[in-house]
Structure 1
Amino acid sequence: MAPSKPTSGELQHRVAFDERTTVDDGYGNTEGGFAERFKSWAAFRPRGGSEAVVAARLEGRNILGVYLRSTAQTTQIKADWRMRDVRTGDVYAIRIVDAVSDRYWVYVEVQTGVAA
Protein backbone atom coordinates (compact mmCIF):
# COMPACT_ATOMS: atom_id res chain seq x y z
CA MET A 1 0.00 0.00 0.00
CA ALA A 2 1.33 3.45 -0.89
CA PRO A 3 2.16 5.76 2.00
CA SER A 4 -0.56 8.22 2.87
CA LYS A 5 -0.08 11.86 1.96
CA PRO A 6 0.56 14.26 4.83
CA THR A 7 -1.99 16.66 6.20
CA SER A 8 -1.35 20.36 6.66
CA GLY A 9 -0.97 19.75 10.41
CA GLU A 10 2.09 17.56 9.78
CA LEU A 11 4.03 20.39 8.11
CA GLN A 12 5.86 21.19 11.35
CA HIS A 13 9.49 21.40 10.23
CA ARG A 14 11.03 24.52 8.71
CA VAL A 15 13.67 23.53 6.16
CA ALA A 16 15.96 25.46 3.82
CA PHE A 17 17.27 24.24 0.48
CA ASP A 18 20.78 25.18 -0.59
CA GLU A 19 22.21 25.03 -4.10
CA ARG A 20 25.92 24.52 -4.79
CA THR A 21 27.53 27.60 -6.28
CA THR A 22 31.02 28.44 -7.53
CA VAL A 23 32.61 31.71 -6.52
CA ASP A 24 35.80 33.24 -7.91
CA ASP A 25 38.24 33.90 -5.05
CA GLY A 26 40.08 36.66 -6.93
CA TYR A 27 43.22 34.58 -7.50
CA GLY A 28 42.01 32.58 -10.48
CA ASN A 29 40.54 29.77 -8.38
CA THR A 30 36.95 28.89 -7.77
CA GLU A 31 35.46 27.84 -4.46
CA GLY A 32 32.38 25.67 -4.17
CA GLY A 33 29.93 26.55 -1.47
CA PHE A 34 26.21 26.43 -0.87
CA ALA A 35 23.81 29.34 -1.23
CA GLU A 36 20.31 29.26 0.22
CA ARG A 37 17.57 29.24 -2.42
CA PHE A 38 14.40 29.20 -0.30
CA LYS A 39 12.72 27.98 2.90
CA SER A 40 9.62 25.86 3.20
CA TRP A 41 7.50 23.94 5.71
CA ALA A 42 7.92 20.17 5.54
CA ALA A 43 6.56 16.93 6.96
CA PHE A 44 9.18 14.34 7.98
CA ARG A 45 8.52 10.61 7.74
CA PRO A 46 11.22 8.21 8.98
CA ARG A 47 12.28 5.65 6.37
CA GLY A 48 14.64 3.61 8.52
CA GLY A 49 18.37 3.75 8.61
CA SER A 50 21.53 1.86 7.92
CA GLU A 51 25.05 1.50 9.18
CA ALA A 52 28.23 1.78 7.17
CA VAL A 53 31.82 1.02 8.05
CA VAL A 54 33.93 4.07 7.23
CA ALA A 55 37.61 4.19 8.22
CA ALA A 56 37.14 1.14 10.48
CA ARG A 57 34.32 2.87 12.37
CA LEU A 58 30.63 2.13 12.30
CA GLU A 59 28.57 5.15 11.23
CA GLY A 60 24.81 5.42 11.47
CA ARG A 61 22.83 6.86 8.60
CA ASN A 62 19.25 7.99 8.90
CA ILE A 63 16.90 8.19 5.93
CA LEU A 64 13.88 10.52 5.94
CA GLY A 65 11.01 10.94 3.54
CA VAL A 66 10.15 14.64 3.33
CA TYR A 67 6.89 15.98 1.92
CA LEU A 68 6.63 19.59 0.73
CA ARG A 69 3.74 21.45 -0.85
CA SER A 70 4.19 21.63 -4.62
CA THR A 71 5.09 25.21 -5.56
CA ALA A 72 7.17 26.86 -8.26
CA GLN A 73 10.16 26.77 -5.88
CA THR A 74 9.86 23.21 -4.57
CA THR A 75 9.55 21.72 -8.06
CA GLN A 76 13.03 23.11 -8.86
CA ILE A 77 14.83 21.02 -6.19
CA LYS A 78 17.64 18.90 -7.62
CA ALA A 79 19.52 15.90 -6.20
CA ASP A 80 22.80 17.86 -5.98
CA TRP A 81 21.30 20.36 -3.53
CA ARG A 82 21.20 19.93 0.23
CA MET A 83 18.48 20.40 2.80
CA ARG A 84 18.92 22.01 6.22
CA ASP A 85 16.61 21.86 9.22
CA VAL A 86 16.40 25.55 10.19
CA ARG A 87 15.59 24.87 13.85
CA THR A 88 18.23 22.21 14.62
CA GLY A 89 20.84 23.04 11.98
CA ASP A 90 21.01 19.42 10.75
CA VAL A 91 22.21 19.05 7.16
CA TYR A 92 20.82 16.36 4.85
CA ALA A 93 22.02 15.10 1.49
CA ILE A 94 19.21 14.80 -1.05
CA ARG A 95 18.95 11.33 -2.60
CA ILE A 96 15.66 11.33 -4.53
CA VAL A 97 13.35 14.11 -5.72
CA ASP A 98 9.87 13.27 -7.04
CA ALA A 99 8.01 16.38 -8.19
CA VAL A 100 5.89 14.78 -10.93
CA SER A 101 3.98 11.86 -9.36
CA ASP A 102 1.65 14.06 -7.33
CA ARG A 103 0.54 17.53 -8.35
CA TYR A 104 -0.01 18.64 -4.73
CA TRP A 105 3.13 17.29 -3.01
CA VAL A 106 6.85 17.07 -3.74
CA TYR A 107 8.54 14.04 -2.18
CA VAL A 108 12.22 14.31 -1.28
CA GLU A 109 14.24 11.49 0.24
CA VAL A 110 17.18 12.75 2.31
CA GLN A 111 19.96 11.07 4.26
CA THR A 112 22.21 12.05 7.17
CA GLY A 113 25.78 10.88 7.61
CA VAL A 114 26.87 11.32 3.97
CA ALA A 115 28.46 14.21 2.08
CA ALA A 116 25.97 16.74 0.81
Structure 2
Amino acid sequence: MAAKTSAGHLRQRVAFDERPPVSDGYGNSEGEFAEVFSCRAGFTYLRGGETVIAGRLEGRQPIVVRVRASSETRQITAGWRMRNLRDGAWAGSSGEEYWTGPLYAVRSIAPTEDRRWIDIMVESGVAA
Protein backbone atom coordinates (compact mmCIF):
# COMPACT_ATOMS: atom_id res chain seq x y z
CA MET A 1 0.00 0.00 0.00
CA ALA A 2 1.03 3.61 -0.30
CA ALA A 3 3.14 5.09 2.47
CA LYS A 4 0.33 7.41 3.56
CA THR A 5 -2.76 5.34 4.26
CA SER A 6 -6.02 7.00 5.22
CA ALA A 7 -9.52 5.79 5.97
CA GLY A 8 -10.39 6.30 2.29
CA HIS A 9 -8.07 3.42 1.34
CA LEU A 10 -10.12 0.95 3.42
CA ARG A 11 -12.66 0.03 0.75
CA GLN A 12 -13.34 -3.59 1.71
CA ARG A 13 -15.22 -5.10 4.65
CA VAL A 14 -13.64 -8.27 6.02
CA ALA A 15 -14.39 -10.73 8.82
CA PHE A 16 -11.80 -12.65 10.80
CA ASP A 17 -12.60 -16.16 12.03
CA GLU A 18 -10.84 -18.16 14.74
CA ARG A 19 -10.93 -21.89 15.28
CA PRO A 20 -11.56 -22.32 19.01
CA PRO A 21 -10.10 -25.37 20.76
CA VAL A 22 -12.97 -27.81 21.31
CA SER A 23 -12.30 -31.40 22.34
CA ASP A 24 -14.08 -34.06 20.30
CA GLY A 25 -13.41 -36.84 22.82
CA TYR A 26 -10.78 -38.52 20.62
CA GLY A 27 -7.81 -36.34 21.51
CA ASN A 28 -8.43 -33.72 18.83
CA SER A 29 -8.92 -30.16 20.00
CA GLU A 30 -10.01 -28.11 16.99
CA GLY A 31 -13.57 -27.01 16.35
CA GLU A 32 -15.23 -25.15 13.50
CA PHE A 33 -14.25 -21.60 12.64
CA ALA A 34 -16.32 -18.87 14.31
CA GLU A 35 -16.35 -15.16 13.47
CA VAL A 36 -14.53 -13.01 16.02
CA PHE A 37 -15.02 -9.56 14.48
CA SER A 38 -15.33 -7.64 11.22
CA CYS A 39 -13.67 -4.41 10.13
CA ARG A 40 -12.75 -2.23 7.15
CA ALA A 41 -9.63 -3.15 5.16
CA GLY A 42 -7.55 -2.18 2.14
CA PHE A 43 -6.18 -4.83 -0.24
CA THR A 44 -2.86 -4.89 -2.09
CA TYR A 45 -2.54 -7.81 -4.50
CA LEU A 46 1.05 -9.02 -4.78
CA ARG A 47 2.45 -9.45 -8.26
CA GLY A 48 5.74 -9.85 -10.01
CA GLY A 49 7.86 -12.05 -7.74
CA GLU A 50 8.85 -15.57 -8.73
CA THR A 51 7.06 -17.19 -5.79
CA VAL A 52 3.94 -15.09 -6.40
CA ILE A 53 3.78 -16.15 -10.06
CA ALA A 54 4.38 -19.79 -9.11
CA GLY A 55 1.60 -19.55 -6.53
CA ARG A 56 -0.81 -18.18 -9.13
CA LEU A 57 -0.08 -21.18 -11.33
CA GLU A 58 -1.15 -23.36 -8.39
CA GLY A 59 -4.33 -21.34 -7.79
CA ARG A 60 -3.08 -19.30 -4.83
CA GLN A 61 -3.30 -15.50 -4.56
CA PRO A 62 -1.28 -13.72 -1.85
CA ILE A 63 -2.73 -10.40 -0.66
CA VAL A 64 -1.53 -7.85 1.88
CA VAL A 65 -4.53 -6.62 3.86
CA ARG A 66 -4.16 -3.37 5.81
CA VAL A 67 -6.44 -2.75 8.80
CA ARG A 68 -6.44 -0.19 11.59
CA ALA A 69 -4.53 -1.25 14.69
CA SER A 70 -6.96 -1.91 17.54
CA SER A 71 -7.39 -4.30 20.44
CA GLU A 72 -9.36 -6.60 18.11
CA THR A 73 -6.91 -6.61 15.19
CA ARG A 74 -3.90 -7.12 17.49
CA GLN A 75 -5.26 -10.53 18.55
CA ILE A 76 -5.14 -11.99 15.00
CA THR A 77 -2.74 -14.93 14.67
CA ALA A 78 -1.52 -17.08 11.80
CA GLY A 79 -4.08 -19.80 12.59
CA TRP A 80 -7.04 -17.57 11.72
CA ARG A 81 -8.85 -17.12 8.42
CA MET A 82 -10.35 -14.08 6.72
CA ARG A 83 -13.46 -13.60 4.58
CA ASN A 84 -14.19 -10.65 2.28
CA LEU A 85 -17.80 -9.77 3.12
CA ARG A 86 -18.34 -8.16 -0.29
CA ASP A 87 -17.51 -11.34 -2.20
CA GLY A 88 -19.65 -13.94 -0.46
CA ALA A 89 -22.53 -14.81 1.84
CA TRP A 90 -23.66 -17.64 4.07
CA ALA A 91 -25.79 -20.25 2.29
CA GLY A 92 -27.42 -23.54 3.20
CA SER A 93 -29.64 -24.63 6.05
CA SER A 94 -29.00 -23.80 9.71
CA GLY A 95 -27.02 -26.99 10.40
CA GLU A 96 -25.20 -27.07 7.06
CA GLU A 97 -24.20 -23.44 6.48
CA TYR A 98 -21.21 -22.69 4.27
CA TRP A 99 -19.47 -19.56 2.94
CA THR A 100 -19.97 -18.97 -0.81
CA GLY A 101 -17.04 -16.60 -1.29
CA PRO A 102 -13.29 -17.10 -1.11
CA LEU A 103 -11.60 -17.93 2.19
CA TYR A 104 -8.16 -16.55 2.98
CA ALA A 105 -5.63 -18.19 5.31
CA VAL A 106 -3.77 -15.70 7.51
CA ARG A 107 -0.03 -16.23 6.99
CA SER A 108 1.69 -13.38 8.85
CA ILE A 109 0.93 -10.20 10.78
CA ALA A 110 3.13 -7.09 10.95
CA PRO A 111 2.40 -3.64 12.41
CA THR A 112 3.51 -0.62 10.39
CA GLU A 113 6.29 1.61 11.67
CA ASP A 114 3.87 4.21 13.01
CA ARG A 115 1.86 1.37 14.68
CA ARG A 116 -1.46 2.85 13.46
CA TRP A 117 -2.00 0.06 10.93
CA ILE A 118 -1.48 -3.69 10.75
CA ASP A 119 -0.46 -5.43 7.53
CA ILE A 120 -1.76 -8.99 7.30
CA MET A 121 -0.49 -11.38 4.64
CA VAL A 122 -3.32 -13.67 3.56
CA GLU A 123 -3.50 -16.29 0.84
CA SER A 124 -6.49 -17.67 -1.03
CA GLY A 125 -6.67 -21.15 -2.50
CA VAL A 126 -5.03 -22.88 0.46
CA ALA A 127 -6.32 -24.59 3.61
CA ALA A 128 -6.77 -22.33 6.61
TM-score by length of 2: 0.73
Residue 64 of structure 1 corresponds to which residue in structure 2? 63
In structure 2, give the amino acid aligned to 1:62: Q
Residue 45 of structure 2 corresponds to which residue in structure 1? 46
Residue 105 of structure 1 corresponds to which residue in structure 2? 117
Q: Is the 8 A contact 2:65 2:121 kept in 1?
A: yes
Structure 1 runs (4+) deviating above 6 angstroms are none
**Over the residues paired in the alignment, what is the CA RMSD in angstroms?**
2.0
Aligned residues: 108
Q: Per residue, is there more strand in 1 or in 2? A: 1
Query: What is the CA-CA distance between 1:24 and the residue it aligns to?
Result: 4.8
TM-score by length of 1: 0.80
Q: Per residue, is there more helix in 1 or in 2? A: 2
Q: Which runs of 5+ in 2 are unaligned?
A: 88-100
Cα deviation code 1:61-110 (max 9, x no counterpart): 11111100011101111011111111213210111101364310011011
Percent of pairs identical after alignment? 44
Query: What is the CA-CA distance between 1:113 and the residue it aligns to?
Result: 1.1
Out of 81, 105, 113, the position equivalent to 1:93 is 105
Cα deviation code 1:36-79 (max 9, x no counterpart): 11000000011123335xxxxx5221111110001110111101
Q: Which runs of 5+ in 1 are unaligned?
A: 53-57
